[in-house]
A and B are shown apart, each in its own frame.
Chain A
Amino acid sequence: MTKNKQEHSGVWILAEQSDGQVQRISYELLTRGRDLADKRSTDLTAMIFGSDINAEDLQELIDCGADRVITMEAAALRHFLVEPYAACMLKIIEDYRPEIIIAGATSTGRTLMPYVAIKAHAGLTADCTVLDIEEDTGNLLQTRPAIGGNILATIKTPQHRPQMATVRPRSTKPAIKQDSRVGEIIRLKAPAECLASRINRVDFIPDESEHGLQEADVVVAVGRGIKKGENLSLTEPLCGSLEAALGATRDVVDRDWLSYPHQIGLSGKTVNPKLYLAFGISGTIQHLAGMQTSETIVAVNTDPDAQIFNVADFGIVGDLFEVLPVLTERINKIRNSQ
């Protein structure tokens, strides 16, 4: 299906659902997809796999930027299972020949997209931070951190179609509803021959300790500058008075000072809070990829050349062990007087 490049057209996103409810990542992908479709002067289609997907949610995909929604539904598609999802997506690729497919770099997207890209002989780029259309050729330009996150690389797929990419969750704002948008919703029954699975989902155990790193308005994050795990207690009063979630760099998690769910960066979570306070973080691209879209960034680091200052709005070149207590005290004072 890669021979005739011209037969492929349209920008597609992979929307995700959980228990029939469309998930936030879908609206983030609409933001990306709408921009690409407009630049390419083409339509935006959202495809979604599931079972009994909420009809209002499907309409909301239209209201938020899709020109068309195509569902494939069956009881076997209720939860993500790689084989039936891939078979359905390949069926859609065969029938509709999309030019571009973007999905979230979620546990679903990062498993499904490579599985499909192999069979479709498509180009796939993981964890893109910027997507654009090349002017002369109309090719999708995919930019992502590379080599351990120290540099950025722009990648394209010159000949093969579709062009596929995953993008980091929360690396862009979800699309918002616009008045009087119209679009088509096509609800397809998934073909029976697409539904076989050698994986059976027997149970689901929800996380108990949800500390809401990605939902928090304020994130206090620490890097190797915190020196040892015990020093993390220094951040507690500040987190308390700012109602902040605690995040960390890969270095800190690799040293077991904090658990993996706290990790922010390319190999951890992406956050975009109103305020990001970085203490003792040098700012590798690996880390920046997970936090640089924060609205306001404050950095404290002893190294005046630390890269973190390049993305910060306010920086203090100084020792976090001296700055942190003073800042905590000042903020507490303000909070108490309010």
Chain B
Amino acid sequence: MRIIVPIKQVPETNAVRMDSKTGTMIRDGVEAIINPLDLYAIEIAIQLRQEHGGEVIAVSMGPAKAIAALREAIAMGCDSAVLLSDKAFAGADTWATSYVLAKAIEHMGDYDLIICGERATDGDTGQVGPGIASFLDLPVASYIGKVEQVSNKTCRLHRLVEDGHEVLDVELPAVLTMVKEVADPRLPTLRGKQRAKKVDIPVWTANDIDADADKLGLAGSPTRVVKIFRPQVARQCEKIVAMDESDIEQAVDKLVMFLQRKELI
């Protein structure tokens, strides 16, 4: 079984803080990590390889430093990795990102499964998994919470939807996107880490994957970001500082009166 796992390097978003005076992002000390939701995709891919044999290949589009995320994937147990890096890829929206990943996957030859995280924690769109499937004309099963009965022709999956879960039979090859419920990602092993340090990770450019220049990066992206801003203060807050016990009694009294006035209690 040949499994491809597209991953993304993201800023450790919990660490992103806004400067309240300037309204800009404080980037100092913000670490770049492997998108946490991609770890579930990697875990499932490795489990399937352990069960069925074959190989797991991680692929990422990003700047040169994104190689660190691919090394992390190898440390977890992926067999090999490819970095897609080219100045022409910069500024890509989900359309142009899906295009590059799909072209690279085409270039890798035959495969049985493409397994993605449900979304990346920085962009939060969840559009690239289905986007890759669409470019490759493959079925996509999103929000997968359980993988069972995998053969080389089909797999049975549980897809989490609003009011329950669907049980799906999907013909391979297919694209799957994983949610957290699917598995507990393993930690990198010491041996894996040592291998990750040494392993050669090829870097492919637009030329290597036969990509059309006019479908790349910002130029190939249908969408444009026109404005970035901090949200406006929405409401007038009646704010009471309550530092000791009697403060708290008074503050709660006022809160209760406020709620009664609004007929909420």
Contacts and interface: CB of A to CB of B under 8 A. Distances in A.
A335 B233 CA distance: 34
Interface in A304-331: 304-305, 309-318, 322-323, 326-327, 330-331
Contact of A150 (B16, B142, B238, B241): B16
A156 B255 contact: no
A118 B239 contact: no
B130 to A, nearest CB: 4
Interface string B84-104: 000000000111001100000
A119 B134 contact: yes
B165 interface: yes
A330 B16 contact: no
Interface in A94-119: 106-108, 110-119
Contacts of B164: 204-207
Contact of B25 (A112, A150, A207, A266): A150
A257 to B, nearest CB: 14
B18 interface: yes
Interface string A255-273: 0000010000011000000
Interface residues of B, number: 89
A135 interface: no
A298 B130 CA distance: 39
Contacts of B14: 148, 251
Interface in B128-165: 128-131, 133-135, 138-143, 156, 158-165
B218 to A, nearest CB: 12
A67 interface: no
B237 A310 contact: yes
Interface stretch (B64-72, B202-210, B242-250): B242-250
Contact of B251 (A107, A118, A242, A318): A318
B140 A202 contact: no
A330 B242 contact: no
Given A198-B174, A204-B165, A242 B227 contact: no
Interface string B181-225: 100000000000000000000000000000000000000011111
Given A154-B226, A206-B163, A330-B252, A296 B124 contact: no
Contact of B127 (A2, A124, A198, A330): A124
A199 B171 contact: yes
Interface string A208-238: 0010000000100000000000000000000
Given A114-B130, A202-B168, A151 B228 contact: yes
Contacts of A297: 235
B32 interface: no
A310 B234 contact: yes
Residue among A110, A148, A260, A311 with most chain B CB within 10 A: A148
Nearest to A269: B162
A309 B133 contact: no
B66 to A, nearest CB: 17
Contacts of B126: 110, 114, 126
Interface residues of A, number: 90
Given A205-B167, A207-B163, A309 B130 contact: no
A195 interface: no
A159 B227 CA distance: 17
B47 interface: no
A177 interface: no
B237 A314 contact: yes
Contacts of B262: 296
A334 B265 contact: yes
Contacts of A119: 134
Residue among A82, A152, A299, A312 with most chain B CB within 10 A: A82
Contact of B222 (A121, A152, A326): A121
Contacts of A247: none
B235 A315 contact: no
B130 A115 contact: yes
B140 A151 contact: no
Nearest to B240: A316
A141 B131 CA distance: 22
> Which 10 interchain pairs have the tightest Cβ spacing?
A148-B13, A123-B222, A118-B134, A318-B242, A203-B167, A160-B222, A114-B127, A206-B164, A126-B125, A198-B171
Given A83-B139, A124-B127, A310-B234, 12 more contacts: A117-B95, A126-B124, A146-B124, A147-B11, A151-B18, A152-B231, A156-B224, A157-B223, A204-B166, A313-B258, A315-B238, A331-B256
Interface of B: 11, 13-14, 16, 18, 20, 25, 93-95, 98-99, 119, 121-131, 133-135, 138-143, 156, 158-171, 174, 179-181, 221-231, 233-243, 245, 247-249, 251-253, 255-256, 258-260, 262, 264-265
